[in-house]
Every structure is written in C-alpha cells, then in structure tokens.
Chains A and B, each alone.
Chain A
C-alpha cells in the first residue's frame, strides 16, 4: 500500500523526511545539552526497537534517531514522553512528542556547573529560555556560552549569550601580586594596568571574562554582580548559503530578564515582517533585519525592556561575512 504522509505535519512534530524512502528520523531536543544519564537508556530503546539501532549526536546538542518507519511515529512519540517530562519541554498534549521544530534547540556549553571559567549556569538559563519561547515554528537559533572564550560558538546564532563577570575590586585585600594584570594581559584583553602598585581596570576595554577574579589569590577581585548575572548579547550571526556571518554585539552587561524579553519581542517582529512567500515559511531573521533596517528592529526588540544601568547598547550594527548573492 502506498504511503500518504503529510510531511509538513511530521516536520512540525520533530520528525524529518530522510533520503531513505519510507523512513523518518526522530529529532530530540535536549535544552542546553544536559540530561540525566538515565534517559540514555530510553533513547537506546527507541533506536533499537523502532530505528536502525544507531543514533546521531546532532550539532545542536540533540539526538537524531534514524531508520524509523512512518507508521511508528505515534509509538515513538509515546516513548519520548519520559524525556519530554524530565526535560520539562513545553508540550501541547501528553504523548504527542515534541510539538514544534521551527525554533531550534537552545544550546549551551557546560557553563559553571563544571567549568571554572563559566560566569553563570548556562544550562539553567537555557531551560528558562526554552520555557519562554517553545513551542514555536519560527526559525530562531539561540545559544549560550559561559564566558568570552565562546566554546559554544554563539556568534553563529541569531542570539548569542555570552556570560560576563562584572569585577569588583577591594583594595584592602590587594597584595600587588599582579596576577590579575598578568592573566588579563596574557589571556584576555589587557584591560588592567598597575597604578601605585594596584590594578586599575579599564572599564571600556574589559570584556568581563573573569580572569582577574579567578586568578586573584586574595579575593580582592570578586564578582560584583553576585547573583544578578550579566551578559553580552550578540545578534544575528548565521551560517548558510547566502551570507554566513558572525553575530555582532548588541548589548554589553545585559541581564537575564531583558534578554528573554528581547528574544520574545523578536518573535513579534518576525511575525510582522517575515516574507510570507519564503520557502517552507522559513526565513533567517538576519535577512529580515537587512530588509527593514536595524533601527526598525531595535525599536521592536527594546520594547518594554528595562536594562540595568551599566548596560551599553550598540547601534547601529553592521554585519560582515562573505556575500554569495
């Protein structure tokens, strides 16, 4: 019997059309790429029972299980339920799998759960963004990285969130060992100079990497932001055919709440300005901004956003990268 499959529908249910006729693949988003190890046996079971026994670790920190018969999709969706519940994925109805596939998995480096350089809990923030923006069919890519090393390569995403440390200096605890000056000079941007035996931080130059804090043996340098974390937000980096490019700085010293609000505002903006005739209803945000101009985007993005006093907003933004069209 020949198969009658609504491919539009299955894609929105996080399956895909594969090159093997009659076979689909299940795409499993893991926000922040962090999951309890116990869930791996669920994935193993699905791959061995319904797929071809293999499993791909995707480039967006998910899993893709190939070789599944279209007919098995409802069963696979049911099997995914424990994952969806444990990972707290926003779902429309239980047992129906992942409800949308347009907005991509929110990716993150391991962050401060493990890494000494991480300026915040990347995975925790990724989950909060997940909660705020899913399910959604629009093509958005959000990535988080713990520090300016940017191991998560967030500048290749629509929204790049880079952890920052706002260093606070207590001169009464400084012994002039110059560790901060040395590490800032050799590993970062040389924002610290010694004046009268004590470090002076060039606030404009400082990228908030936290090297001064990590390497201070005295706790003279501490993270002045405490629990109120600060971030650099970069916009509209992308890969792809026409004009791949790195994201540009939009806000330095932004806070979590503002970033979530800006992302949500961007959904409104895209809903308004997306090319209705775009193939598969999919258009990278950056191309939309190229069309409307950055100022129009900025107006939408910053609507009702209250940034912390130290935040710096960059405008206008100019992107680069090769242009093939």
Chain B
C-alpha cells in the first residue's frame, strides 16, 4: 500500500517503529570528516527524518549495522565463556537499491556459504528494510551496469517529492500505523535510476589469466594500502579476530572481530613471517578479481554492486570503475603474450 505523508506524519511513524526497531540511516556527522571543518556521512542511529542524509551518498554503508566495525563475540574468564548479548531491538535499515543488492551478497557469504554465521544471523533475523528511492545517480554510481539499480524486496520505500514523503509498504503489519499518519493513500513506486554517468564493462571472456597483466604494476606506487575502498564497500565481508586480555586483569578478556581489508598490511601474513601479497598492485588485482570474477564463479552473480563508494573515498584518486574498464585491454594483453 502507498502513502503520502508530511514531516510530522513520518516522524510519528518513526516514533511508532522505534518501539521495536533501532533506526539506522545515513547521517551527517558534523566536523567528523578527515579534514578540519568537514563532515562525515556514515550510518548512525536516527530518531527523525530530518536526521537522515537523503541528498548525499554515505562514505560507509549499512553493513556496519550487520557486521559491526568492531564486534565483541564473547567474554572469557579462566574457565567460563559468556556470549555477548545482541541488541534487544531489531534494526530498521535505510538504504538504496545498490545496497539492498549488497545485502544479498552479505547473506550469500554469511548464511549460504557453509555453516551459518551465528552473530550475523541473530542481527539479520531482526532487520527490516527501508528502500531510499534514487531520483538520479551520483557521479560515481554504476548500478545500472551492475544490474542493481532496481529492488523490490523491501519492507518500506521512501521517496521525497516537494518536501513530502511517499512511502510504499510491503510489510502488512505496518499498514495501520502508516495509514493513521498519512495525508492520503496513493499508489507509490520507489524511484530508480536508469542511467549513470560512470559506466563499466566487465569483459565476458575475463579469466584469472588477467592476473599476469602489467596493468596492476601501476598500483604498486599509486595505492597507499589504506583500505578505505574495502571498509566503505557494502559487499566486503572480511574480518579479523582479536583475543584481548584486559590490561587490569590478564586472566579475563574478550574475543572480538573487526572488519578487515585485503589492501591493508598484514592481511595475508602467515605463521613464519610470510606474506602472500606484498605489493599493493597485487592486492588491487586480488580485490578486483574477487569482486568481478571469483565471487561470480561461486555464486553466479557479480559481487560488486556499483555503489561507487570506493571511488568516492580513495585518497589517491584511484578509480575502481576505471580498473574494471581496463580489464578488457589487460585481457587482450595477456592473450597476446600466450
């Protein structure tokens, strides 16, 4: 069912939903950007529609709500273990179509790839999705080429037109709450983009042979291995484990997992002091082919959803979409050498 709402109405709806859910949405954190007097847009808890940043793309994605940046799994004493509590409330995630496709990829890794992940599942089971409609693509978006520009599997959609809100509800239980606070019932279709400025083409004949291309060498020097591309990516799922012994009492502690990046030093370190991918270009190659080749071979669809965040956040102006577009000539280069 579709609804038209004013600001007061939608905030009453938020208020109602807050009884059961924590609302996570892209939010502007003033003065929290990397540079002075700049803001940061990332996910955070909101109470009202005004707090949600609907005009700009967030640098980090919704994934932080499902795969917390740093998550304590359990606490241990000398002979006991206590699993960390999950939040009592569920989570309502405000995200765009590309991100909703990214959620499918997170599910593939954490729920359909062998044993289900206990910590992911307990958060995942209690989320609901609010799809933010996209009137037009941001500069770095390439969702259309990745086929992620449309989504239908949302619980609620949200579009803003002339200061009013248009919502389409697909979760029946909320209809009463929405109806009570709406100006009117109407037919609503969430907006989606059909064209992007940035375009990518993944070659059909792409194989792992492209790893031998010289194209990767340039990133040895250009990339600083900061990991921003991974941390901002809604489909990167890697984490690392940390067992911490509290400094005041070395016999108790906690295990936590934190988001990890295949671009950052230490990711491929192994016992004995080895490291598989030392060169930054090789890390770039690994990341690119994981996103555009390996994942698809396993799950049948591309991992990258074309949100373009990696391009937005790279301090060295390395464009991942450009790397993808170079794969064609790199493939030709490699086949000539054979």
Binding site for B on A (CB under 8 A): 112, 116, 118-121, 163, 165, 171-179, 195-197, 210, 213-220, 222-223, 226-227, 229
Q: Which partner residue on chain B sits nearest A177 by CB separation? A: B264
Which of A173, A195, A210, A229 has the most B CB atoms < 10 Å from its CB? A173
Question: Is B186 interfacial (CB 8 A cutoff)?
Answer: no
**A227/B231 contact (C-beta < 8 A), A165-B36, A174-B69, A176-B258 known:** no
8 A-B residue pairs with CB within 8 Å: A118-B35, A120-B36, A172-B70, A175-B258, A218-B69, A222-B29, A222-B31, A223-B31
Question: Is B162 interfacial (CB 8 A cutoff)?
Answer: no
Q: Are A175 and B35 in contact (CB under 8 A)?
A: no
Question: Chain A's nearest CB lies how many Å from the CB of B278?
Answer: 16
Interchain CA distance A173-B68 in the complex, whole Å: 8
Question: Chain A's nearest CB lies how many Å from the CB of B38?
Answer: 9
Q: Are B259 and A175 in contact (CB under 8 A)?
A: yes
Question: Is B30 interfacial (CB 8 A cutoff)?
Answer: yes
Interchain CA distance A218-B231 in the complex, whole Å: 7
Interchain CA distance A179-B230 in the complex, whole Å: 15
Binding site for A on B (CB under 8 A): 29-37, 40, 42, 59-60, 68-70, 226-228, 231, 240, 242, 244-247, 258-261, 264-266, 313
Question: Chain A's nearest CB lies how many Å from the CB of B97?
Answer: 25
Interchain CA distance A216-B33 in the complex, whole Å: 10
Q: Are A196 and B227 in contact (CB under 8 A)?
A: no
Minimum-distance CB pairs A-B, first 3: A226-B31, A222-B32, A217-B228
Contacts of B59 in A (CB 8 A): 219
Contacts of B264 in A (CB 8 A): 177
Q: Are B226 and A215 in contact (CB under 8 A)?
A: yes
**A121/B37 contact (C-beta < 8 A), A173-B69, A217-B226 known:** yes
**A176/B32 contact (C-beta < 8 A), A217-B227, A218-B69 known:** no
Q: Are A216 and B244 in contact (CB under 8 A)?
A: no
Q: Are B227 and A177 in contact (CB under 8 A)?
A: yes
Question: Chain B's nearest CB lies how many Å from the CB of A230?
Answer: 11
Q: Are B35 and A219 in contact (CB under 8 A)?
A: no
Interchain CA distance A220-B34 in the complex, whole Å: 10
